[in-house]
Structure 1
Amino acid sequence: MKIKVCGMKFPENVRAVAALQPDYLGFIFYPHSPRFVGYEPNKELTELRLPAKKVGVFVDKDFSTIKSIIQKYQLDAVQLHGNEVPEMCGALKTQTEVIKAFGVDDTFDFSRLEPYANCVDFFLFDTKTTAHGGSGEVFNWQILQNYHLKVPFFISGGLSEENIESVLKLKHPAFYGVDLNSRFEISPGLKDLEKLSRTFELIKLQNSKLPS
């Protein structure tokens, strides 16, 4: 089970979270988010050499802007949270890993994902809201049993210390990782290291029980 911590913002906090050894760290390039890191390179952030993959999170940005930020911030992956079409995802996939996010609820039509199957590396399923993520709200994970593609997926949306054990019990062959964000914060963008550390231990314990 992979661990992604999203909404990173402050260099010192980024270093501390990276020391916990997550697999991915997410940086938000969406101006309406309180975790927005800015389009122009923050020298402290761009010069960080992290063991985790750096993910840039975008909402309906054009290809050239995203490509420029990939280069400026030396991103390893992009996460697309808007209405990006499969063709754009496929074009970005030639540059970096692509995670396509979808807000889901009990009426979500999983057939919508089929055109993206060969254009992305991962899906991310988040709670459907108007805020494009970071809501702290949970969706009904059991509806993911309606997902039958082979593209691996992350689960996001309101994951917390209190419910992480429950989500880890979800049995699905494509369940690849969890995305931790607002429920692990002291304030927007500032992660609570103690909460994350305890949750990482739970996940790593779960991983150790999986057949090799």
Structure 2
Amino acid sequence: MKPKIKICGLKHPENIREVLSLQPDYIGFIFYPGSKRFVGQLEAAWVARLKGVKKTGVFVNADIDHVKATASQYAFQAIQLHGNESPAYCADLKENHVEIVKAFGINAHFDWAKLADYEGVTDYYLFDTQSAHHGGTGIRFDWKLLDGYPSDKPFFLSGGIGAENIADALLLGDSRLYAVDLNSRFETEPGIKDIALLKRTLQTINDE
């Protein structure tokens, strides 16, 4: 099975329309004010009307009532949590009938045992490069570290995935790899995706 495609960090309607023409499985909108890809003034009602793709809201240690209200306004089908959100926080959100994707920053010192408490309250994990900026670094972590991943839960692979290494990601041979998350390495500037580069990369995936 080829992994699903998530294109994250969208904020401009015309660019979003172009991204949707590529038919990704997920698109992501970042609600962390510290991100260069913060959605800003993107109109909730306009996003809510988008069809044919799973819309994902990305949050970092946000007030849970704010997350719930935003998910409703934008008609999100998935919530990605990129901070220190607790298992109880995830369980509460999961009752809203959205997919819960819990992100973890990975480095050589990551303790895989911390995943155990999240097993029953998340649908997917997302593994990104460890960073104080909560993602968007464009830096790839050592994918060999995934050899230590102890769970059967499917995961999104993020962190420095670009056109030059997407084939390597597809060759990981890990049946738990559910989706690849394409973001900062596919931009002309933060929040503006390079449609031609994405198109070529998606063709690479389809040809594998």
TM-score range, shorter chain: over 0.9
The percentage of counterpart residues that share the same residue type is 47
- Unaligned segments of structure 2, at least 5 residues: none
| 1:114 Cα deviation after fit | 0.7
Aligned to 2:114: 112
* 1:18-64 residue CA offsets vs partner (Å, 9 max, x unmatched): 110100000000111111113x7615643542311000000001211
Amino acid at match of 1:82: G
* Aligned partner (choices 133, 136, 154) of residue 134 of structure 1: 136
Q: Which runs of 4+ in 1 moved over 3 A?
A: none
Amino acid at match of 1:79: Q
Aligned to 1:46: 47
**Contact 2:131–2:137 (CA<8 Å) still a contact in 1?**
yes
Q: 1:200 to 1:147 in 2, by over 3 A?
A: same
* 1:151-203 residue CA offsets vs partner (Å, 9 max, x unmatched): 11011001000111111110212111100000000011000001100111111
Q: 1:47 to 1:87 in 2, by over 3 A?
A: closer
Distance 2:207 2:10 in 1: 25
Aligned to 2:177: 175
**Contact 1:159–1:179 (CA<8 Å) still a contact in 2?**
yes
**Contact 1:101–1:125 (CA<8 Å) still a contact in 2?**
yes
**Contact 2:90–2:100 (CA<8 Å) still a contact in 1?**
yes
1:79 is paired with a residue of what secondary structure?
strand
Distance 2:36 2:159 in 1: 16
Write out aligned runs for 1:24-173 (5 A): 24-38=26-40, 42-43=43-44, 45-95=46-96, 96-173=98-175
Q: 1:192 to 1:48 in 2, by over 3 A?
A: farther
Q: Would you say how many aligned residue pairs link Structure 1 and Structure 2? A: 205
Distance 1:43 1:68 in 2: 11
Distance 1:5 1:173 in 2: 21
Write out aligned runs for 1:2-17 (5 A): 2-17=4-19
Amino acid at match of 2:55: K
Q: Scaled by the length of structure 1, what TM-score is found?
A: 0.93
Distance 1:47 1:152 in 2: 27
- Unaligned segments of structure 1, at least 5 residues: 207-212
Amino acid at match of 1:98: I
Amino acid at match of 1:158: G
Distance 2:102 2:114 in 1: 12
Q: Scaled by the length of structure 2, what TM-score is found?
A: 0.95
Distance 1:133 1:101 in 2: 9
Amino acid at match of 2:33: P
Q: CA RMSD in A?
A: 1.3
